[in-house]
């Protein structure tokens, strides 16, 4: 039996920036580079990662999230995307992130506003493009309560210069989103979010819906485990819903996330072909109102994102 293609339907789309239609299940590219790309984990098999990217497109994925700082000792996410998918189809949207950077040893550094152009040009070179569809300003943890105006203004200048089509913000507060909107339109907010999210996180998600801004959660599957990936032990409530649907816990978490609003997208990261198939299939998993409320209520006693 041949493998299915285009499992993502037109009914599950959102227009990023009001003009770029993307399916609500995308692909995060971080794990294409290795099992633990930021702490010396085992590199992925290069041909497998390329195959995952091509299979994702076959399944209907047209929203890929990446960054120049997604690399391991021998793999670069942007290079893999270029190798697998160039020349790019007109409907493929590639989003990247700037402000963080990593030197060749893997050590982190944070760009000044003047250095953001170099980071944007680095992504352009690696991806082999003359412009970037979406660039998210990823706010460092140390600046969660600080101003982002100078950095976002520098990105707005690069958009005006034609290097960037749409701007987004990542890891932001509602105040920082408002600050960005005073400077330029914001196409998306990319923040951690999943079952167990705090009331503050939920309020920001709902506010984005009111403004017509896409909300793009990361760690929707991993929750509070973050870069380490999904926790070994899953909650009883998630497992019960998964059994009822003959689905995996990861699929339930993705389905719950998408249920939070039509403006909510998901970018589950994987370098595993089977996980890719499961993640895209989650777009068709329909939770009942009772199941969704049960998951939300049960998680209120747990840490945010768990």
Alpha helices in 142-262 (DSSP H): 149-160, 174-181, 199-211, 236-245, 249-258
- Kindly list the catalytic residues: 70
- Lookup: tokens for 30: 């971080």
Phi-psi map region of 227: left, alpha, beta (phi>0 left; psi -120 to 50 alpha): alpha
User: Phi then psi for 215, rounded to 5 degrees?
Assistant: -110, 120
- Lookup: tokens for 94: 């590639």
Cβ atoms 276, 55 nearer than 8 A: yes
Q: Hey, where are the domains in the chain?
A: 15-234+262-285
Q: Using one digit for the tens of pLDDT, what is the confidence trace for 37-96?
A: 777 678 889 999 999 999 999 999 999 999 999 999 889 999 999 999 999 999 999 999
CA 148 vs. chain centroid, Å, equals 20
- Alpha-carbon torsion angle 188, 193, 197, 200, nearest 10: -30
Cβ atoms 248, 221 nearer than 8 A: no
The crossing angle, in degrees rounded to 10, of helices 116-127 and 149-160 is 50
Q: Using one digit for the tens of pLDDT, what is the confidence trace for 268-285?
A: 999 999 999 999 999 999
Residues of the chain by 3-state class (helix, strand, coil), percent to 5: 40, 20, 40
The C-alpha atoms of residue 276 and residue 105 are separated, in whole angstroms, by 30
Please give the CATH architecture assigned to the domain spanning 15-234+262-285: Alpha-Beta Barrel (3.20)
* Residue (of 258, 255, 259, 236) closest to 247 by Cα position: 255
The C-alpha atoms of residue 171 and residue 190 are separated, in whole angstroms, by 6
Cβ atoms 49, 76 nearer than 8 A: no
Task: Report pTM.
Answer: 0.92
* Residue (of 41, 96, 42, 35) closest to 69 by Cα position: 96
Each residue's pLDDT expressed in tens, for the chain with a length of 306 residues = 334 556 676 558 999 999 999 999 999 999 999 877 777 678 889 999 999 999 999 999 999 999 999 999 889 999 999 999 999 999 999 999 999 999 988 899 999 999 999 999 999 999 999 999 999 999 999 998 899 999 999 999 999 999 999 999 999 999 999 999 999 999 999 999 999 899 999 999 999 999 999 999 998 997 655 554 455 578 899 999 999 999 999 999 999 999 999 999 999 999 999 999 999 999 999 999 999 999 998 766 554 443
């Amino acid at each position: 039996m041949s493998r299915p293609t285009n499992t993502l339907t037109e009914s599950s789309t959102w227009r990023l920036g009001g003009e770029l239609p993307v399916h609500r299940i995308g692909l995060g590219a971080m794990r294409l580079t290795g099992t633990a790309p930021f702490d010396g984990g085992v590199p992925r098999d290069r041909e497998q990662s390329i195959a995952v990217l091509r299979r994702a497109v076959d399944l209907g994925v047209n929203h890929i999230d990446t960054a120049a700082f997604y690399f391991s000792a021998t793999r670069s996410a942007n290079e893999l995307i270029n190798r697998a998918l160039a020349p790019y189809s007109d409907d493929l949207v590639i989003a990247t992130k700037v402000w963080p950077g990593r030197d060749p040893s893997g050590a982190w550094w944070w760009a000044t506003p003047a250095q953001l152009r170099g980071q944007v040009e680095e992504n352009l070179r690696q991806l082999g493009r003359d412009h970037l569809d979406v660039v998210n300003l990823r706010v460092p943890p140390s600046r969660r309560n600080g101003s982002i105006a100078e950095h976002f203004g520098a990105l707005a200048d690069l958009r005006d210069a034609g290097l960037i089509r749409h701007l987004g913000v990542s890891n932001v507060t509602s105040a920082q989103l408002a600050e960005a909107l005073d400077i330029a339109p914001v196409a998306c907010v990319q923040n951690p979010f999943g079952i167990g999210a705090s009331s503050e996180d939920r309020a920001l998600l709902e506010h984005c819906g009111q403004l017509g801004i896409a909300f793009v959660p990361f760690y929707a599957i991993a929750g509070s485990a973050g870069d380490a990936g999904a926790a070994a032990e899953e909650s009883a409530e998630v497992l019960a819903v998964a059994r009822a649907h003959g689905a995996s816990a990861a699929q339930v978490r993705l389905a719950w996330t998408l249920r939070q609003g039509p403006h909510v997208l998901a970018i589950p990261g994987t370098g595993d072909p089977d996980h890719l198939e499961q993640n895209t299939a989650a777009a068709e998993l329909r939770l009942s109102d009772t199941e969704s409320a049960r998951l939300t209520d049960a998680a209120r006693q747990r840490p945010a994102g768990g």
